[in-house]
Amino acid sequence: MQTTSPNIRAVAGRPEQAHSDNTSSRSPLATALALAAMSLGLGVVQLDITIVNTALSSIGASLGGSVAELQWVVTAYTIAFAAFILTAGALGDRLGAKRIFMAGFAIFTLASLACALAPSAVFLIVARSVQGLAAAILVPNSLTLLNHAYADPKERGRAVGFWAAGASVALTSGPFVGGVLIALVGWRSIFLVNLPIGAAGLWLAWRYAEETPRLSQREIDLPGQIAAITALGTLAGALIEGGRLGWSHPLVIVGFVAAAVVGFLFAWREARAPQAMLPLSLFAHRMFALTALVGVLFNIAFYGLIFVLSLYFQNIRGWSPFATGLAFVPMMAMVLPANLVAASVSERLGAPQTIALASVITAAGCVALLPMASDTSYWAIGAQLLVLGGGLGLLVPPLTSTLLGSVDKSRSGIAAGVLNATRQTGSVLGVALFGSLVGGGNEFIAGAHASLVISAAVLLAGAIAISYGRAREPR
Q: What is the sign, positive or negative, of the torsion defined by CA atoms of 421, 187, 317, 239?
A: negative
Q: What angle do CA 309, 48, 210 make, to 5 degrees?
A: 140
Which amino acid, residue 73?
V
List the one residue out of 255, 370, 240, 279 whose CA is nearest residue 90: 279
Mean pLDDT of 354-378: 92
Question: Could you report the per-residue pLDDT of 183-208, keeping only the tens digit for each?
Answer: 888 899 999 999 999 999 889 888 88
Task: Pick the range with the lowest mean pLDDT from 287-296, 334-343, 390-399.
Answer: 334-343
pLDDT of res. 7: 32
Mean pLDDT of 356-379: 92
3-state secondary structure 234-268: HHHHHHHHHHHHCCCCHHHHHHHHHHHHHHHHHHH
Residue 12: CB atoms within 10 A of its CB come to 11
Evaluate whether 148 touches 19 at the Cβ level (below 8 Å): yes
> Higher pLDDT residue, 298 or 46?
298
**27-212+277-472: which CATH topology?**
Growth Hormone; Chain: A; (1.20.1250)
Phi/psi region, residue 96 (left: phi>0; alpha: psi -120 to 50; beta: rest), is left
Q: What angle do CA 289, 290, 293 make, to 5 degrees?
A: 90
pTM for this entry: 0.77
Check pLDDT > 80 for residue 89.
Answer: no
The DSSP element (H or E) to which 87 belongs, if any, is helix 67-95
Domain boundaries, the chain: 27-212+277-472, 221-276
Pairing of strands 14-17, 8-11: antiparallel
Q: Residue 217: phi, psi to the nearest 5? A: -80, -10
d(Cα 56, Cα 75) in Å, to the nearest integer? Answer: 12
The upper half-sphere exposure of residue 232, i.e. CA atoms within 13 Å in the direction of its Cβ, equals: 29
Give the list of residues 6+ apart from residue 81 with CB closer than 8 angstroms, or none. Answer: 45, 132, 133, 135, 136, 139, 420, 424, 427
Q: Residue 10: phi, psi to the nearest 5? A: -90, 120
Task: Pick the range with the lowest mean pLDDT from 43-47, 234-238, 271-275.
Answer: 271-275
Question: Could you report the per-residue pLDDT of 279-301, keeping only the tens digit for each?
Answer: 787 887 888 888 889 999 999 99
The pLDDT mean for the chain works out to: 81
Give the chain's end-to-end CA distance (angstroms, integer): 11
pLDDT of res. 111: 95
Q: What is the sign, positive or negative, of the torsion defined by CA atoms of 104, 238, 260, 308?
A: positive
Q: What is the sign, positive or negative, of the torsion defined by CA atoms of 406, 410, 411, 415?
A: positive
> Higher pLDDT residue, 434 or 2?
434
Cβ neighbourhood burial of 97 (10 Å; 0-12, 13-18, 19+):
buried
Evaluate whether 39 touches 101 at the Cβ level (below 8 Å): no
